[in-house]
Structure 1
Amino acid sequence: MRIAIAGAGSVGRSIAGELIENGHQVMLIDRDPIAIRTHLIENAEWVLADACEVSSLEEAGVHTCDVMIACTGDDKVNLVVALLAKTEFAVDRVVGRVNDPRNEWLFTDAWGVDVSVSTPRIMAALVEEAVSVGDLVRLFTLRQGQANLVEVTLPKTTPLAGVPVRDLRLPRDCALVTILRGGSVIVPAPDIPLEPGDELLFVASTEVEDLLREALR
């Protein structure tokens, strides 16, 4: 897969490194000459250009990319890059980085964003996940808020201890994806009993999160 990344800062480079390790072709675009550090990721294609200019994106060959990741430190720039990638170059998948949570509502398909990633929200969710036991924690938002990946760690005194997965009374638009137990990832088969300390991962619509929280209590 060919992937363009607008923003060659530490975040963009980290993403590029991971993607290259996974076998993808990556092009890093940045308008700041200081950010063009080809020696850091030698297998990436580096482009010194303004990703907010159509001519620059055209010259870089963005139309040949399967994915555009707009991950600069400026939300305005990320929105412009996303919109250009989607409307001018018909990039199949556009990912937008949200730096300020107050701007998260803008990162929708109206601006060409297929998936928005809010760095502050993810960090807050990871902190909550690390310290919260017994309460539902939203880890990630999917499909522009239509569904969320949520997690709950069962406390030592959970009334669900010994209850098989089949007997969980989950609300509609909600599915148990996996159970993390110790160092194991468990597929939630119907006859598997729950245990205290289990981390349960669900995909659920926003509307049923309160119902899911009550079901787990």
Structure 2
Amino acid sequence: MKVAIAGAGAVGRSIARELLANSHEVTLLERKRAHIDEDAVVGATWLFADACELDNLEQAALETYDVMVAATGDDKANLVVSLLAKTEFAVNRVVARVNDPRNEWLFDEDWGVDVAVSTPRILASLVEEAVSVGDLVRLMTFRQGQANLVEMTLPDNTPLAGKPVRKLLLPRDAALVAILRGGRVIVPQSDDPVEGGDELVFIAPVEVEEALRTAIIEP
């Protein structure tokens, strides 16, 4: 996969390293020359360029990339990068960093964003996930499809204990994608049973979240 990352600060570099470790092709676009350090992310292509400028994106041949990551520390810049990537270069997937949670409502398909990642929201969700049993916790929003990644921890005395995945009466359009049990990550198969204390991870649209919670807590 070919990935362009706008912003080579700590966040952009960390993303680049992870992608390179998984054998993806990465290009970092950075407008501050002092931030360009090829030794910091070995294997990436570095471009001294402002990703908010259309000419620079054309020179980078952004239309040949599969993913654009807008990872600067400026929400305005990330929105501009996302919009240009989607509308001018038809990049298939655009992921944008949200620095200020108050701006999160802007990061949607109107600005070319497929997935908005808000670090404060993710941290808050993880705190909730750590202490919440029987509540549906939203971990991430996938803007383009209006679906959410949500998690629910089953009570120890759940009536679902021992029931196979195929017998869970989930609402339409909700999908169980993982079961976290102790130190294990289980990709659920139809015959796998659920147990008290399991963390169930779903993808579900907003409108069925309440029905999903009811189906799991009050089967």
Partners in 1 of 2:90 and 2:189 — Cα distance? 41
Deviation at 1:41, TM superposition (A): 0.8
Deviation at 1:164, TM superposition (A): 3.4
Which letter does structure 1 place at the counterpart of 2:76?
K
Alignment length, in residue pairs? 217
TM alignment of 1:86-165, pairs within 5 A: 86-144=86-144, 146-165=146-165
CA contact (8 A) 1:2 1:24 kept: yes
Partners in 1 of 2:133 and 2:102 — Cα distance? 28
Tell me which moved more, 2-11 or 137-146: 137-146
Partners in 2 of 1:189 and 1:60 — Cα distance? 43
The aligned residue for residue 70 of structure 2 is 70
Deviation beyond 6 Å, 4+ runs, structure 1: none
Partners in 1 of 2:168 and 2:93 — Cα distance? 36
Give the direction of change, closer, same or farther, for the CA distance of 1:57–1:129 in structure 2 (3 Å limit). same
The aligned residue for residue 61 of structure 2 is 61
Deviation at 1:9, TM superposition (A): 0.5
Describe the SS at the equivalent of 1:39: coil
CA-to-aligned-CA distance 1:149-180 (integer Å, 9 cap, x gap): 11111122323223333443322221222222
Give RMSD over aligned pairs.
1.8
Partners in 2 of 1:152 and 1:24 — Cα distance? 32
CA-to-aligned-CA distance 1:19-73 (integer Å, 9 cap, x gap): 1111111111111112112110121111111111111222233233222111101
Partners in 2 of 1:62 and 1:36 — Cα distance? 20
- Structure 1 unmatched ranges of 5 or more: none
Partners in 2 of 1:33 and 1:16 — Cα distance? 18
- Structure 2 unmatched ranges of 5 or more: none
Which letter does structure 1 place at the counterpart of 2:207?
E
Tell me which moved more, 86-95 or 50-59: 86-95
CA contact (8 A) 1:72 1:97 kept: yes
Tell me which moved more, 128-137 or 70-79: 128-137
User: Normalising by the residue count of structure 1, what TM-score does the alignment of the two structures yield?
Assistant: 0.91
CA contact (8 A) 1:116 1:144 kept: no
Q: Percent identity?
A: 68
Please state if 1:211 is matched with 2:211.
yes
Partners in 2 of 1:64 and 1:167 — Cα distance? 44
TM alignment of 1:5-16, pairs within 5 A: 5-16=5-16
Partners in 1 of 2:169 and 2:40 — Cα distance? 51
The aligned residue for residue 194 of structure 1 is 194
Tell me which moved more, 183-192 or 47-56: 183-192
Partners in 1 of 2:138 and 2:46 — Cα distance? 36
The aligned residue for residue 32 of structure 1 is 32
Deviation at 1:215, TM superposition (A): 2.1
Please state if 1:47 is matched with 2:22.
no
User: Normalising by the residue count of structure 2, what TM-score does the alignment of the two structures yield?
Assistant: 0.90
Which letter does structure 2 place at the counterpart of 1:74?
D
